[in-house]
Amino acid sequence: MIHAEGLTKRFGSLTAVDQITLDVGDGEVFGFLGPNGAGKTTTVRMLAALISRTSGRAEVAGYELGSEADELKIRERIGVLPDNVGLYDSTSAYQNLEYFGRLHRMDPTALRTNIERLLGMMDLWEKKDLPVSTFSKGMKQKVAIARALVHDPVLLFLDEPTANLDPEAAKMVREVILELKKENRTIFLNTHNLDEAQRICDRVGILRTRLLAVGPVETLRSGFARKRTAVRLERTSEALVAAVKQRLRTDGVEVSGDRLLVDVDDPARENPEIAEAVVAAGGRILELSQVSPSLEEVYLKLVHEETALP
Amino acid sequence: MRFSQAWLIARHDIGIFRHRSGVMGPLIGLPLFVGIGFPVLVDYIVRSNGTAGLGTYLPGLIDAFSFWFVIGAATLPTAIAAYAIVGEKVEKSLEPLLSTPTTDGEILLGKTLAAFVPTVLAIWAGSALFQGLIDAATRGALGYLLYPNGEMVVILFALVPLVSLYAIELCVLVSSRVTDARSAQQYASITFVPLIFLYVAGEIGFTLDTTHLLYIAAGFVVLVLALFQVSRRTFHREEILTQWK
């Protein structure tokens, strides 16, 4: 659905997006993570044919970025939720959707059917004739998502869909995205909410001007952050930690509550040795498990390493 | 360029500003004021002075009044254009609009039509009232119908549309540099300046006859075409998203 090669955007001397190469498949939910100013919105704007690229190439929804005719085709086939909802407050939810459906030159009957289906899905059908100005932030965000979907796009770009929403409204919007995922829609989700990305996305890319990593969340978690084994003990002590360190010949042991956390490279080989070392040091093991690093750890590691680069 | 896309945008914008008193007030008020207020004044002059000597100064006075329709064409569309462009920029609804399969030219044409069509229609309606009432008030005193005449035809069908387009294009240029609709309107009021000169010229004896009005219209054609080129460059998708304040 998306194929980008060396996509770059410069504003004068500032490089906003540097040499991005990525693929997003049909029906995939792809999360684009990065701190503020990392280039996420610029990337979406390039892929959505809203701004030009400085170099590189990209094919979106079957059309190549570059010519005005193809870019019109791209905008026909995609839906975009910008980081600001940008609704017409004085008009109703129905009128907002109707206007955008007509701009996409939809057949009036299909448009009515789509609006009814989408507002129904968003639990807003009963309020369809109320001015949008009377809606809460979460409801407005849902109308904006419906607007991006009104013409049945094959690809949906969502730019920070839960930013600035209270937890309840954010949950409401996440549920809508999960519904869309069930419908097998291709979604490109810009977010800096790692929990959201972890729960919703099939794959994520971590961006800080350059694409630092890309892959399924699990692969990133196992590939970019240290693996650790957690040993829950009846009781911990400094002496026990020192003895375990000495026996395993490592400094990678720390205490967290009633658990010892031990850095490992190969858990299958090292876990029996860890258990032996703890028992030999006088510890009583209640539980031994593998600790999966969170996406947050992977993200922070990559983003901070990138910051440290010259 | 698909006119249907532009017209869809224009109709939508017109539907929105229909409910805004700040736009509708002047749009209805100014043509009504000129269309009824000035003929009432002329009627008062005719009734209080009798018919003696009216034929020498009344037509000139009335022509000066009719120039107010040109001034209206310069001021009225700026309120609409300021909302249609800066208002949307402020409310952040331009980006979703730019994300649709509509070209920059179609959006710009739509915004221009939204400001142009109501302005010209309101002025034409006001001028119909003006001409009818002036004829009714002066026919007895002058012995002939003052309107319609060549000057009014040039004013209504050449100057009013051209000055209106000139004002809208200036508003587009200003829109990229201001952050609220009121400022856009204030900056765009410079459209008024050349018209003040023309008005004063008329008042101090320079005859604004059909030929002179056609020359002025030709000047506005050049101005409108030049400004169109600049406003097309300013109203560019990438400029709007990355450069506009």
What confidence tens digit (pLDDT) does each residue in B120-131 have? Answer: 999 999 999 999
pLDDT of A309 reads 45
Per-residue b or e along B172-186, where b marks 16 or more CB atoms closer than 10 Å to that residue's CB: bbbbbebeebeebbe
Give the Cα separation of A191 and A170 in Å (integer). Answer: 12
CB contact under 8 A, B91 and A88: yes
More confident call, B10 vs A293? B10
Give the Cα separation of B89 and B8 in Å (integer). Answer: 19
pLDDT of A225 reads 63
Closest to A103 (Cβ–Cβ): which among B8, B241, B242? B8
pLDDT tens for B105-150 read 899 899 999 999 999 999 999 999 999 999 998 888 788 888 888 8
The whole-number average pLDDT for the span B8-33 is 89
pLDDT band at residue A126 using 50, 70 and 90 as cut-offs: very high
Note whether A20 and A190 are within 8 A (CB).
Answer: no
The answer to whether residue A99 neighbours chain B at the CB level (below 8 Å) is yes
Q: What share of chain B is helix, strand, coil (3-state, %, to 5)?
A: 85, 0, 15
pLDDT tens for A183-217 read 888 999 998 888 888 888 999 998 989 998 888 88
Complex confidence, ipTM: 0.83
Range with top average pLDDT, A67-71, A75-79, A292-296, B214-218: A75-79
DSSP letter at B35? Answer: I
Per-chain mean pLDDT for chain B: 85
The answer to whether residue A144 neighbours chain B at the CB level (below 8 Å) is yes
Residue numbers in B near A146 (CB within 8 A):
none
pLDDT of B142 reads 81
CB contact under 8 A, B95 and A76: no
Closest to A86 (Cβ–Cβ): which among B96, B103, B242? B96
Residue numbers in B near A51 (CB within 8 A):
237-238, 241-242
Please state which of the ranges B48-52, B89-93, B134-138 shows the lowest mean pLDDT: B48-52
Closest CA to B1 of B85, B100, B109: B109
The answer to whether residue A52 neighbours chain B at the CB level (below 8 Å) is yes
Per-chain mean pLDDT for chain A: 88
Nearest-by-CA chain A residue for B18 = A90
CB contact under 8 A, B103 and A45: no
pLDDT band at residue A135 using 50, 70 and 90 as cut-offs: very high
Domains detected in chain A: 2-222 (3.40.50.300), 226-292 (3.30.70.100)
Per-residue b or e along B36-63, where b marks 16 or more CB atoms closer than 10 Å to that residue's CB: eebbeebbebbeeeeeeebeeebbeebb
pLDDT tens for B195-205 read 777 777 766 76
DSSP structure string for A79-91: EEE-SS----TTS
Q: Which long-range contacts (CB under 8 A, 24 or more apart) does A109-112 make?
A: A111/A150
For the cut 50, the answer to whether the pLDDT of residue A310 exceeds it is no
Residue numbers in A near B12 (CB within 8 A):
99
CB contact under 8 A, A50 and B241: yes
pLDDT of B245 reads 62
Nearest-by-CA chain A residue for B100 = A75
More confident call, B84 vs A274? A274
pLDDT tens for A208-247 read 899 988 888 878 777 766 778 889 988 888 888 888 888 8
pLDDT band at residue B229 using 50, 70 and 90 as cut-offs: confident
Nearest-by-CA chain B residue for A156 = B99
Q: Give the Cβ contact number of residue A282 at 10 Å.
A: 12
The whole-number average pLDDT for the span B151-170 is 91
CB contact under 8 A, A82 and B103: no
Q: ω before A293 within 30° of 0 (cis)?
A: no
Residues of chain A with pLDDT > 90, as a percent, come to 45
Closest to A90 (Cβ–Cβ): which among B19, B98, B238? B19
Note whether B85 and B168 are within 8 A (CB).
Answer: no
The answer to whether residue A45 neighbours chain B at the CB level (below 8 Å) is yes
Closest to A82 (Cβ–Cβ): which among B95, B100, B237? B95
Residue numbers in A near B96 (CB within 8 A):
80, 82, 86, 100, 144, 147-148
pLDDT of B18 reads 85
Give the Cα separation of A66 and A87 in Å (integer). Answer: 29
Closest to B103 (Cβ–Cβ): which among A72, A78, A85? A72
CB contact under 8 A, B16 and A103: no
For the cut 70, the answer to whether the pLDDT of residue A306 exceeds it is no
pLDDT band at residue A18 using 50, 70 and 90 as cut-offs: very high
CB contact under 8 A, B19 and A51: no
Burial category of A202 from C-beta neighbours within 10 Å (exposed 0-12, middle 13-18, buried 19 and up): middle
The answer to whether residue A226 neighbours chain B at the CB level (below 8 Å) is no
pLDDT of B80 reads 85
Nearest-by-CA chain A residue for B8 = A103
How many angstroms separate the CA of residue A242 from the nearest CA in chain B? 58
For the cut 90, the answer to whether the pLDDT of residue A257 exceeds it is no
Count CB pairs under 8 A between chains A and B. 68
